[in-house]
Amino acid sequence: MASTNNQTNNVDFDSINKTVKSLNAGMQLWLAQECLRNALMQFMYYDNELAPELNELVVAIKKFRATNKLNNEARATAYARKSGSAEIDSGERK
């Protein structure tokens, strides 16, 4: 008797893809990192020879996300400074 994996068969991938497309880039990167990390756990459990390569990919995404976060914070700080000086220059007072 053939068994089927109902968990996989009941997944609406079109809906998932539509939802993921609507997320910001940071959230998409986080989801990719988590999916790959979960796959890595399975690779390690089954002693798959490609686990070290997958681990490198997970680490690379994690580093990329950290760098992106720092860049975003720097841009936000620069924008706040620029906006603050623009208010003063325009004559507005608080």
Average pLDDT over residues 27-33: 96
Q: Which residue has the higher pLDDT, 21 or 85?
A: 21
The model's pTM is 0.71
Phi then psi for residue 48, to 5 deg, are -75, 135
So where are the chain's domains? 12-89
H-state helical runs in the chain = 6-9, 13-21, 25-45, 51-89
Q: What is the DSSP letter of 46?
A: T
Question: What torsion do the CA atoms of 13, 42, 65, 60 make, to the nearest 10 degrees?
Answer: -120
For the stretch 42-77, pLDDT in tens is 999 999 999 999 999 999 999 999 999 999 999 999
pLDDT digits (tens, 9 = 90+) for 82-93: 887 545 445 555
